[in-house]
Amino acid sequence: MTDVRPADVADLSFEAALAELERIVGRLEQGQVPLEESIEIYRRGEALKARCDDLLKKAEARVETISVGADGSPKGLAALDPE
């Protein structure tokens, strides 16, 4: 486990947040963590999950699809989910 405090979650990349979240889940699944520590790392896990969700939503907003003309050639880009 790292010594990063929950406030630092906002600075983590998606990959770093996901890796730490996976470590937390693994520790909790083993059932060998004392109750107080379980509560603490569960809260951190919630913050990490929220960070991952936020980063994924931002990435999805940037995804574009290639629109294709009648002849099959690319004719432009469009947002995947225009708002």
Closest CA to 50 of 83, 1, 6: 6
What is the reported pLDDT for 32?
A: 92
Question: What is d(CA 83, CA 3) in angstroms, rounded to the nearest whole number?
Answer: 39
How far is the CA of 61 from the CAs of 8, 37, 57, 81, in angstroms? 24, 36, 6, 7
What is the reported pLDDT for 3?
A: 46
pTM of the entire predicted model: 0.69
Q: Where are the domains of the chain?
A: 6-79
pLDDT single digits (tens) 17-31: 999 999 999 999 999
**Percent of the residues in the chain that have a pLDDT greater than 90, as a whole number:** 58
